[in-house]
Amino acid sequence: MNTERTQSRNQPSPGQEQRRKQSDSTPSAESKAEAVSEEISRENQPQNAVVIQLRRQVANAYMLYTNYKHYHWNTYGPMFRDLHLLFDEFAEAVLKTGDRFAERIRMIGQDPLFGPIELSEAASVKTADRANFTMRDMIAEADRNLLVVIKEMRQGVRTANEQDDPGTADLFTQVVQIHEKHEWWLRDMLEKSDGFIR
């Protein structure tokens, strides 16, 4: 009789057994996080459109940076000080955007591009043309490059939204505004009806 009592005390009640089974079948917070991480990494393979666009903007940021430094170093003429400082300001701003894009790529499970050859091959923006050596040519070239990048970033927002990636869409939305502001300034500098240029 004592043996029967001991066995009944050691056996779980039907309610306890049901809770144990639920506990065993319910994934832990850690396993849920791993599953989400694996899903994100699986979706964001190197050939994924979002990854490709992010990598291209890392490359474009570095190309824009080197071009801005080229213009900064080679500025001359009556607007020397303003343009010299402006191009340096643009260079610093765009360098920070490259870091943000690279970090976003790491967040979604891939590696950013690096190295001058890899970056120049992936970029839509090409190295500044040494033949464009008037200040007007340099400003116009910088403006054309920004228009290319702005168009790509707007497409990046659409692609990220299509793939349910609000973080990337938000990043493109924030950074494109920096380039839009810079393009506005350059475009206005090229305006010929300012009374200064005949």
Domain boundaries, the chain: 1-43, 46-189
Architecture field, domain 46-189: Up-down Bundle (1.20)
Q: Distance between CA atoms of 79 and 89, rounded to whole angstroms?
A: 15
Tokens for 155, please give them.
């497409």
Q: 149-183, pLDDT tens digit by residue?
A: 999 999 999 999 999 999 999 999 999 999 999 99
Ranges 1-5, 69-73, 111-115, 127-131: which has the least confidence: 1-5
The whole-model pTM stands at: 0.76
The DSSP string of the chain is: -HHHHHHHHHSPPHHHHHHHHHHHHSPPHHHHHHHHHHHHHHHT-TTSHHHHHHHHHHHHHHHHHHHHHHHHHH--STTHHHHHHHHHHHHHHHHHHHHHHHHHHHHTT-----SHHHHHHH-SSPPPPTT--SHHHHHHHHHHHHHHHHHHHHHHHHHHHHTT-HHHHHHHHHHHHHHHHHHHHHHHHT-STTSS--
